[in-house]
Chains A and B, each alone.
Chain A
Amino acid sequence: QKEVEQNSGPLSVPEGAIASLNCTYSDRGSQSFFWYRQYSGKSPELIMFIYSNGDKEDGRFTAQLNKASQYVSLLIRDSQPSDSATYLCAVNFPGANNLFFGTGTRLTVIP
């Protein structure tokens, strides 16, 4: 069964802190992993994607992938109130051309 698991939160961090968002997935053969941000009432927007084990950095965002543990995370450094949103982890499972989404983690950055 194809599953993507996320802690629904809410996760609250003070402004300037590091927010850590976690995601696990069911299929060890998965190759593509995506993090989306969704503001209330809006559609998801892509933050970054990762394919290889290790870290991938883009500005204040770092995605971390550990395929052996079937775990992918997103770190947000220097969190800002504008980062307050729901963060969706998505996985492209083998044999499927669509994305499977977790339920999302709601992040609140407190000024």
Chain B
Amino acid sequence: GAVVSQHPSWVICKSGTSVKIECRSLDFQATTMFWYRQFPKQSLMLMATSNEGSKATYEQGVEKDKFLINHASLTLSTLTVTSAHPEDSSFYICSASRGGDGYTFGSGTRLTVV
């Protein structure tokens, strides 16, 4: 149990375009999902906390207008990187919790902006 599916696993886009990443909890309902970003050889940095039916809570320094998060249902959260630039190239990972026994991660999305 506790499977989180993330899609796509990798994407290459042109500078200035937008990219949407989906995160689904397949066998449980996730009222809260988390979006992380990880640069090479660095740890995971929390970008935002996504709450079902309400606005996401962004960490300091993360532009909410650039990283749009939608959590429309208990099993789906999306992250849209708008007007992507090369410095947005990173590994984006979502996570969800059933509560109590840990947080399950999606498989991650490798974004490359050219």
Contact A45 B105 (CB under 8 A): yes
In the assembly, what is the distance between CA of A44 and CA of B91, in Å? 12
Contact A43 B106 (CB under 8 A): yes
When A34-B102, A42-B108, A49-B102 are in contact, do A97 and B43 touch as well, CB less than 8 Å?
no
Most chain B CB within a 10 A radius of its CB, from A43, A46, A99, A103:
A43
Closest residue to A102 on the B side, CB-wise? Answer: B43
Partner of B44, one of A41, A42, A45, A88: A88
In the assembly, what is the distance between CA of A92 and CA of B49, in Å? 14
* Interface size class of chain A, counting residues whose CB lies under 8 Å from the partner chain: 10 to 19
In the assembly, what is the distance between CA of A36 and CA of B105, in Å? 10
Q: Does B60 contact A (CB under 8 A)?
A: no
Q: Does B32 contact A (CB under 8 A)?
A: yes
Contact A46 B102 (CB under 8 A): yes
In the assembly, what is the distance between CA of A26 and CA of B34, in Å? 22
Contact A98 B106 (CB under 8 A): no
In the assembly, what is the distance between CA of A13 and CA of B100, in Å? 33
When A43-B93, A97-B49, A97-B97 are in contact, do A88 and B105 touch as well, CB less than 8 Å?
no
In the assembly, what is the distance between CA of A41 and CA of B107, in Å? 10
Q: For B105, what are the chain A residues with a Cβ–Cβ distance below 8 Å?
A: 36, 43-45
* Chain B residues in the interface with A (C-beta under 8 A): 6, 32, 34, 42-44, 46, 49, 91, 93, 95, 97, 101-108, 110
